[in-house]
């Protein structure tokens, strides 16, 4: 399973329309800041213009040495608030920097991958009208993964946090090393077993979500 701390969700912070999409689909491998799609949103125009106003104030203060430090500090805080608002709308840091540099309100905004990883879900298509809160995309960094082992109740007393285990795929010779985490085992009513969580490095991304693996616990 993907490590929950390495899952990234891209959500719409404003209503809009998807204008263009990339060739990325569910299962595709992406790199940080890779273009995924482009959208337009009328409601984003006012926040962008507000950000441009704060930039103008900062420019004026940088040219006027007589400005009081308190005014400069207030202008910087206003600028940061405007940036946070744009991020909440789903506008990437890269495009915010472009707005700062060009001092123009863009006609469209790009959806970029927040990290290297694999696409677990992709919920946009060209021409899609979306509402605020829609999950555009979900990406998981699979360089480290979780492995959930079903262990019988009578055996779980031997599985303690920190012990190692050998992980192998059926009919393959490659062996990986995993470690039992500090998370207590969770009881599974369907299989009448306890789920023990392990963490493992995943070189080459061989281990994928929902795969089955064999686990050999190294018990003293």
Give the model confidence (pLDDT) of 84-122 as tens digits.
999 999 999 999 999 999 999 999 999 999 999 999 999
CA torsion sign for 177, 181, 186, 187 is positive
Q: How confident is the model at residue 68 (pLDDT cuts 50, 70, 90)?
A: low
Q: In terms of pTM, does the model score above 0.85?
A: no
pLDDT at residue 178, rounded to an integer: 96
Residue 154 buriedness (CB in 10 A; 0-12 / 13-18 / 19+): exposed
Over residues 44-59, mean pLDDT? 90
Contacts of 18 by beta carbon, 8 Å cutoff, 6+ apart = 37, 38, 39, 124, 125, 126, 127, 128, 130
Asked whether residue 66 carries a pLDDT value surpassing 70, the answer given is: no
CB atoms within 10 A of CB 69: 7
* Cβ count near 61 (within 10 Å): 17
Which residues sit opposite 29 in a β-bridge?
Answer: 118
Write down the residue that tokens 């491998």 correspond to: 29
Q: Is the predicted pLDDT of residue 15 greater than 90, yes or no?
A: yes
């Amino acid at each position: 399973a993907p490590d929950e701390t390495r899952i990234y969700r891209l959500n719409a912070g404003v209503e809009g329309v998807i204008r263009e999409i990339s060739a990325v689909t569910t299962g595709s491998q992406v790199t940080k800041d890779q273009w995924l799609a482009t959208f337009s949103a009328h409601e984003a125009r006012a926040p962008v213009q507000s950000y441009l106003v704060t930039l103008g104030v900062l420019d004026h203060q940088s040219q006027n040495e007589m400005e009081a430090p308190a005014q400069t500090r207030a202008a910087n805080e206003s600028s940061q608030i405007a940036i946070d608002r744009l991020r909440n709308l789903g506008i990437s840091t890269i495009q915010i920097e472009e707005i700062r540099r060009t001092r123009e309100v863009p006609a469209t905004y790009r959806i970029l991958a927040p990290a290297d990883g694999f696409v677990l879900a992709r919920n946009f298509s060209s021409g899609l009208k979306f509402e605020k809160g829609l999950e555009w995309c979900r990406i998981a960094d699979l360089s480290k993964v979780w492995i959930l082992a079903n262990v019988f109740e009578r055996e779980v007393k031997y599985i303690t946090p920190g012990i190692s285990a050998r992980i192998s795929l059926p009919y393959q010779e490659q062996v990986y090393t995993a470690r039992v985490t500090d998370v207590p085992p969770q009881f599974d009513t369907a299989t009448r077993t306890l789920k023990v969580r392990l963490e493992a490095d995943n070189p080459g991304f061989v281990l994928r979500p929902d795969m089955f693996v064999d686990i050999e616990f190294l018990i003293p």
